[in-house]
Amino acid sequence: MFRLHRKWKWLLFAALVAGGLVYLSRSGAGAPNPTWYQALAQRVVSPAARVFSGGAARWRDFSDGYLQWRRDRQRRVELEAELAALRVEALRLREENRALQAESALFAENGLAKGEGRPARVIGYDPVPAFRSITIDRGREHGIMPDQVVVAGGGVVGRVMRSGSRSSQVLLVTDLNSAVDVVDARTRARGLLVGKRKEMGLKRERWMTQAEYVSASEEIVPGDLLLTSGLDGVFPKGLPVGVVGAVKKDPSGLFWQAEVDPYVELQKLEEVLVLAPREGGEG
């Protein structure tokens, strides 16, 4: 206890001496003629005061610099977030502009005015290999009904088979259940276009169409363009459906059978047009 008491006495003494020196130094700093002991106190205190003042200034500079760095860092984070948001918005606007351009192109390539069809996006292909259909993102809520005709790329894609509330299934012209009454654009020979699955070997197959019941007395040759005749009550007249490939007579010899390549690349569909219903409520 004595040693601790003695230590505190020395600390108290040192503090009193230092306080006295500081007092004498500050009191003599403003005097025109300081006394000898005030001048001595100034000489003793001034180096320590300069060191303390310089340290305080450096600490203040460091503190101000650190706070400024924190503010700059926070601002940089905010700017990076704003830049990311602007990039997302730019991508959205670019995609929206692309969609508008694609919609305008759809109407233009099919020779239709905007009121004559409703654009739709392809959102799926039929996963069952035996069927050929697509799903579009428009349904009854958008006015889509069964048997409405679907076109793209200037030609026939198929017809709406089923319509849900917000999506619809479209039967492609290459499906085995599809049938379109067609006419040869050059010779006006008439026939029935149906879906066809052609085996290619090595477990490969090709989905196309085939023109049947074309009278053997009519002329139909490879390269001829087939159009919808408008006589089936579903497809309007004059829409391109396919281009004739190989031609041969059926077993009876009374009709031509022609392999027909679809006019539209059905495997690459992204956007389609659903034609407005025909007058009288027909597709």
Per-domain residue ranges of the chain:
2-63, 117-275
DSSP assignment letter at 224? P
Residues 240-279 as b/e (b if ≥16 CB within 10 A, e otherwise) read bbbbbbebeeeeeeebbbbbbebbbebeebebbbbbeebe
> For position 29, what pLDDT does the model report?
54
Query: Hey, which bits of the chain come out as E strands?
Result: 117-125, 133-136, 149-152, 155-163, 168-172, 179-184, 190-201, 204-215, 225-228, 240-249, 255-262, 271-275
3-state DSSP call for residue 130? coil
CATH number attached to the domain at 117-275:
2.40.10.340
Kindly list the distances between the CA atom of residue 136 and the CA atoms of 149, 165, 171, in Å, as whole numbers in the listed order. Answer: 13, 11, 11
pLDDT, block means (10 residues), the chain with 283 residues? 56 56 52 58 60 68 84 91 93 85 78 83 86 93 94 94 95 94 96 84 70 94 96 94 94 92 91 82 44
Would you state the pLDDT for residue 231?
A: 94
pLDDT of residue 283: 43
The pLDDT score that the predictor gives to residue 281 is 45
Residues 25 and 18: their CA atoms lie apart, in Å, by: 10
DSSP conformational letter for 252? T
